[in-house]
A and B are shown apart, each in its own frame.
Chain A
């Protein structure tokens, strides 16, 4: 089976500090990985390296068979990412959807449908700048965009931090209902938040994978 993510002996250093210290990790299709660990453990750095934001100092990374630096767009075509906090994007909702439709090929209608499943009415807010939506609405829209893309890998950084309990339930239900083979990485401090969604737990500390267990 071809791995979705294959990181081998990855090293990343910031100002002399090894933030990723010889990290190896393989994620196959179907795996839902809860990546846990304290602040500074290296979780975000690893994810950013997978997405091609960081140039690693050692080791290799392949996402869907591609190098995130050399074949950045090939990697990102396969990945949906939701940051921990919705960024203050100044584009209007309509412009943001246009950007996503043109860059990823995801029809806006599919995003709208996903948003409706999250009980978010986009139509009434299309002309508002994204950053002026409420925290919950922004997070729901980011989730709708990510799910509508039908990617092979989802990367969620504390995805439910801004959601009320009902919205969390919608999110979990939608995620569970995806009917094609994909893998998911949940970055979280509390594994109980995503109980039932993850089937593997990877614990990081001080830049290393210290525990890897099947749930």
Chain B
């Protein structure tokens, strides 16, 4: 298993030189910069002010950008490695499939997780500079939520990459996953509910199964314990689970789902032709 760390380290080194990483870091760093310039910390909307508003907006934007970045860059590099025969060469050395797969996943996790966390921390420092208090609970929860989101979408990306051999199909599938999960947060479910064609229970279940919904509920629950601004699904969950279990669901459900997809991806990696 000594090669897991080696593969992870080399993947990090490789990513740090890649253009996608600079774009990725620039987007999240730039977002924070944009928030500072636009004075979000000084505005008041629906009771959210200062640092909490800044971080809440950051998380709301993260929910849109982070999944698609992780999905596209990961499937692009892995499917690309297969198509350009890099995978063939690297796997012609005595590194086990377990070491290669999990090493790549760990390395990729580090490169997608840390830029977002650093941007979050920069926002906190800025907020403190503006006179706010150190929001330990918020930092802890948001770090956990970002961890969960990274785990989930890396798991899905590795699963897609091992299942689909064509680079183009993998990209198309990534977009589809992203759009479906985003659409099911609001648009599709509200549409279904308004049409009254399916039961409310089914709509609630679909919403609860959507890991992005879990992320969004978790992000807002800290400020709005009644979840009055987020809608019926969150309210139902809060009513059924209570606050603590709801937060656990928001963090653990995406993590578990991500691990399940990563394991399924590894199973496919081992059991199918590698090239």
Which A residues fall within an 8 A CB radius of B? 48, 51-55, 72-74, 76-77, 79, 81, 83, 85, 87-92, 95, 98-100, 102-104, 129, 142
| B92: chain A residues within 8 A (beta carbon) | 51, 76, 79, 81
Count of chain B residues near A, Cβ 8 A: 26
Contact B97 A72 (CB under 8 A): yes
A138 to nearest B CB, angstroms?
A: 11
Q: Are B2 and A91 in contact, CB atoms less than 8 angstroms apart?
A: no
Supposing A53-B274, A103-B6 touch, asked if A72 and B96 sit within 8 A by C-beta, the answer is yes
Indicate if B93 sits at the interface (CB-CB under 8 A): yes
**B90 in the interface (beta carbon within 8 A):** yes
Given A99-B6, A129-B17: A55 and B272 interface contact (C-beta under 8 Å): yes
Partner pick for A48 among B6, B90, B275, CB 8 A cutoff: B275
Q: A83-B88, A87-B88 are in contact. Are A100 and B273 (CB under 8 A)?
A: no
Known contacts: A53-B273, A55-B272, A90-B14. The answer to whether A83 contacts B89 by CB under 8 A is: yes
| A91-B14, A99-B10, A103-B3 known; A73-B89 Cβ under 8 A | no
Q: Indicate whether B118 reaches chain A with its CB closer than 8 angstroms.
A: no
B88: chain A residues within 8 A (beta carbon): 48, 53, 83, 87
Q: Is the CB of B94 within 8 A of A102?
A: no
Residue of B whose beta carbon sits closest to that of A55: B273
Taking a contact as CB atoms under 8 Å apart, the answer to whether B10 and A91 are in contact is yes
A92 to B18, CA, bound (A): 12
The CA of A54 and the CA of B165, in the complex, are separated in Å by 14
Q: Which residue of A lies closest to B95 (CB)?
A: A103
Q: Does B122 contact A (CB under 8 A)?
A: no
Cβ of A89 and Cβ of B86 under 8 Å apart?
yes
Question: Which residue of chain A lies nearest to B85 when distances are taken between CB atoms in the complex?
Answer: A87
Q: How far does the alpha carbon of A51 sit from the alpha carbon of B275 in the complex, in Å? A: 11
Give the residue among B6, B18, B94 with the most A Cβ atoms within 10 A: B94
Q: Is the CB of B18 within 8 A of A90?
A: yes
B91 interface residue, CB < 8 Å from A? yes
**Is B195's CB within 8 Å of the partner chain A?**
no
- The chain B residue with its CB closest to the CB of A86 is B89
Asked if B130 is an interface residue, CB under 8 A from chain A, the answer is: no
CB-defined contacts of A100 to chain B, threshold 8 Å: 93
Whole-angstrom distance between the Cβ of A60 and the nearest chain B Cβ: 17
Of A53, A87, A88, A99, the contact of B93 (CB 8 Å cutoff): A99
List the B residue with the shortest CB-CB distance to A49.
B273
Q: Within the assembled complex, what's the spacing in Å between the Cα atoms of A88 and B95?
A: 19
A76 CA / B3 CA spacing, docked (Å): 15
Cβ contacts under 8 Å, B91 to chain A: 53
| Residue among A54, A85, A102 having the largest count of chain B Cβ atoms under 10 Å | A102
With a CB–CB cut-off of 8 A, which chain B residues contact A102?
Answer: 2-3, 6
Of all chain A residues, the one with the shortest Cβ separation from B3 is A103
Within the complex, the shortest CB–CB distance from B95 to chain A, in Å, comes to 5
For the complex, what is the distance from the CA of A117 to the CA of B13, rounded to whole Å?
29
